[in-house]
Structure 1
């Protein structure tokens, strides 16, 4: 690329190196996690209030790199419908009674020692697609981490929703069953709490399905 100067000469410009999201993304997106005090309210990993409708669940997991090592400075965002399948957003015109005690958006930082991240939320209801076709209960997930130029987007589905998952139009686009399995969170009960485990693999044989949107 060249730039014409006022004296008639040309200055040739070289492409600068690309920059990834990390390793300091927490300073801008979750300053409290980086030990920086701020008066600005930050999104957190607890999406529920006492009045929130629906089944309380915990979603947890670890982000792994291509070598199988835990990424201990990842940041995860989620966006989901409430227990009735409604999004708390004016663009969701199909739902006029979205749960006022549930925002549907959360942000979590992985533990700097173990790499574990988690959200306290509710299990979302089935969502009606743009053409009236139902989508299985799911959570939209964004992954930010060092070495990633653009956040990676994927979806979390629930392994105890077999019938709904089989009819889901997005899962149906993934022809290989083993690849669909990378989007399934596994249900368990721990100390009386429902926990869904969802590990994310950035590369390798078990690489999570990511979407180009």
Structure 2
């Protein structure tokens, strides 16, 4: 006779990020020196505006042609047109809650419904006190495709700016606020 055990509740995803989740390529979605590469830099803050110093950010994105070298791409996996493109980056936050990702601009993506998603990065945030990752997107400013993006259109117009990066000296700035006023929009996935 076997004994039936209850379900174990979810546990937080930290504070062991720095120990067990090291990624060899770190923040480099593309190698240093890649033409047209730039940095996306930002801060992660809590509801009071205090830096979140022990978080981890992961990014996943298409290549500049809007393709993935992954079996889940419905058009078929295909190597990226950019040498060394990984499509994935992982970085932790520093003592001021700052993170950085070195990447290239992704291309637009077709949806199964025949629409087109604007160029964006999908970003997951992990940290102490979070029972599950938080998922958001980074869109690029002044991209005309943002107006017709099927995901961005579902977000209340007054909150869409929390999903759009701002230009900076070496790329873009994208701050993530975990809660409170001006909280970043997160998606249930």
- TM-score of the superposition, structure 2-length normalised? 0.88
Mapping for residues 24-43 of structure 1, pairs under 5 Å: 24-30=16-22, 42-43=24-25
Answer whether contact 1:64 1:201 (CA < 8 A) is retained.
yes
**Aligned residue among 160, 163, 179 for 1:180:** 160
Higher-RCO chain (CA-CA 8 Å, sequence separation at least 6) = 2
Matched, 1:82 2:63: yes
Q: What residue number does 1:201 align with?
A: 177
- Are the structure 2 counterparts of residues 144 and 198 from structure 1 closer, same or farther at C-alpha, using a change threshold of 3 Å? same
1:108 aligned partner: 91
Report the CA distance shift for 1:51/1:166 in structure 2 as closer, same or farther (over 3 A): same
The CA deviation at 1:116 is 0.9
For normalisation by structure 1, the TM-score amounts to: 0.79
User: Which structure features the higher share of strand residues?
Assistant: 1
Contact 1:51 1:101 survives alignment (8 Å): no
Tell me which residue corresponds to 1:70.
Answer: 51
Structure 2, unmatched stretches of 5+, are none
What's the counterpart of residue 140 of structure 2?
A: 158
- 1:135–1:164 contact (8 Å) kept in structure 2: yes
Count of residue correspondences: 187
Where do 1:91-170 residues align within 5 Å?
91-94=72-75, 96=78, 98-99=80-81, 101-111=84-94, 113-161=95-143, 163-170=144-151
Q: Which has the larger radius of gyration?
A: 1
Task: Choose which of 57, 67, 92 in structure 1 pairs with 2:38.
Answer: 57
